[in-house]
Structure 1
Amino acid sequence: MTDTTYPPLDILKPVVPDLWIVDSGPLSGPLPLPVRMTVVRLSDGAVWLHSPTRFDEALARAIEAIGPIRHLVAPNIAHWMFLGAWQRRFPDAVTWAAPNLRHRGQVRRRIEAGELRLDRDLGEQSPGTWAGDLRQTLVPGGLGFREVAFFHTASRTLILTDLVLNLEPEKLPVHLRLPLRLAGATAPDGRAPLYLRLAVRLGGRAASRAAAALVALAPQRVLFAHGAWFEREATPALRRSLRWLIR
């Protein structure tokens, strides 16, 4: 059976000083997607979790060893499913939500049932608590979609979620390789999935400007939730991946 993930799973993997990734998955569904969390230690020592993956107690203790977990970030309207478990383990952490996330029916029902909490909404500007470490850019779209991108200034690392889908063909089930290649979602410079491209294009010129601003940051590496992240020559790879959006 083909393994789409990036073992070892559910452990901290250092990328640069004060920044780690956690590979996890696969997510259930017709496409067994790998999924990735990014962990940042802010200059005040607090730890920031971007798109938390499935909860694991050993992983939680390993993250606590680098600093207190103070921020849980749901960066778009799709990446929130594992928040509840992290909130129960770290009740004092602030949960930050992408615009429109709290209005999704499934999310609203979880909130009403006391299974989920969204404390603050993310905006176009970084909040003061991490403005010195992370710059953020709001990428708008239609159908309620928003994604908030983050740029770790010290390491020049861009942190995305679903704006790039860069699946490696050799890790995919054989019957999915051609369809995903035709959809432009495979390495070396995969794009967002087709349904997401359609939604983001509804953001018009604002979405195009946001994408151009991300490329203008000239990141040295680009992290995202699904597939092989851009470890080298990241800026040209990002430009190719976002060519469908930049006008």
Structure 2
Amino acid sequence: MLEDFGDGIWVANGPTTSVAGFHYPTRMAVIRLSGGGLFVWSPIALSPDLRRQVDALGEARYLMPPNSLHHLFLGDWQRAYPNAEVYAPPGLRAKRKDIRFDGDLGETPIPAWADDLDHVLVPGNLITTEAVFFHRASRTTLFTDLIQHFDAGWFDGWRAVVAKLDLMVAPEPSVPRKFRMAFVNRPAAREAVGRVLAWPTKKVLMAHGEPVAGDGQAFLVRAFAWLIK
């Protein structure tokens, strides 16, 4: 289930989840930190096989839900790894009273993983504030919901029409139209995305869509041209 993504990062695909009748595939990443231990990004459903594979890589020390929407399986992971630290992105602490959070993810890098990972919070969106991560060793930028891509046949009926209008089935991965419209503070979002674009991105990993394997920085410029122009 875990696939090597190169330079200390692994990817696993999970079962689909349903939101308002729309089915979304799930994806997580496991990153081996240079100081030891594992950073688990956007945890998916935890199966016995997945747990064995994670344990074979090292100790899961940090569980990171990247926004207030990707938390469905967080409780299972915390029960499986009670010593792992969990950081809350904006909005999630109030939403999940059942989760023990060890800290809040703000603009300041977390010292435990700052040598390996950078992050930017993209504010000003009514749907969620997403934390976009950058893995230095693999030059991979990780998006959760701000960039998505589905095959043209993934949705059917009226949902296919909505997905097309929402740019979820655009020719290449794109920022869905609903997220574009939900940015009520575009100057703040533009500043944050500018910092993301400054990373030397080679690859782009997203929770909902196939990864971009190369020339990631140019791809991100295209994906956010509507905001930064």
| CA distance in 1: counterparts of 2:14 and 2:227, whole angstroms | 28
For residue 5 of structure 2, give the secondary structure of its aligned residue in structure 1. Answer: strand
Q: 1:75, 1:161 within 8 Å by CA — same for their partners in 2?
A: yes
| CA distance in 2: counterparts of 1:21 and 1:162, whole angstroms | 16
For residue 60 of structure 1, give the secondary structure of its aligned residue in structure 2. Answer: helix
Q: Structure 1 42/145 Cα, relative in aligned 2: closer, same or farther at 3 Å? A: same
Number of the residue aligned with 1:189: 172
Q: Does 1:21 pair with 2:4?
A: no
Q: 2:119, 2:131 within 8 Å by CA — same for their partners in 1?
A: yes
Question: Could you tell me the TM-score, scaled by structure 2's length?
Answer: 0.92
Query: How is 1:133-152 mapped onto 2 (pairs within 5 angstroms)?
Result: 133-143=116-126, 145-152=128-135
Consecutive unaligned residues in structure 1, runs of 5 or more = 1-10
Number of the residue aligned with 1:236: 218
Q: 2:6, 2:138 within 8 Å by CA — same for their partners in 1?
A: yes
Q: What's the CA shift for 1:206? A: 1.5
Cα-Cα RMSD: 1.8
For residue 91 of structure 1, what is the amino acid of its counterpart?
P
For residue 170 of structure 1, give the secondary structure of its aligned residue in structure 2. Answer: coil
Q: Which of 138, 153, 156 pairs up with 1:170?
A: 153
Q: What's the CA shift for 1:173? A: 3.1
Runs of 4+ displaced beyond 4 Å? none
| CA distance in 2: counterparts of 1:17 and 1:166, whole angstroms | 25
Deviations 1:31-79 (A, max 9, x none): 1111111110000221010110111121011111111000000111111
For residue 80 of structure 1, what is the amino acid of its counterpart?
H
Question: When the two structures are aligned, how many residues end up with a matched partner?
Answer: 228
Q: Does 1:59 pair with 2:59?
A: no
Q: Identity rate of aligned residues, in percent?
A: 35
Q: What's the CA shift for 1:183? A: 1.7
- Using the TM superposition, name which of 130-139 and 143-152 deviates more: 143-152
Consecutive unaligned residues in structure 2, runs of 5 or more = none
Q: 2:155, 2:163 within 8 Å by CA — same for their partners in 1?
A: no
| CA distance in 2: counterparts of 1:36 and 1:188, whole angstroms | 21
For residue 220 of structure 2, what is the amino acid of its counterpart?
L
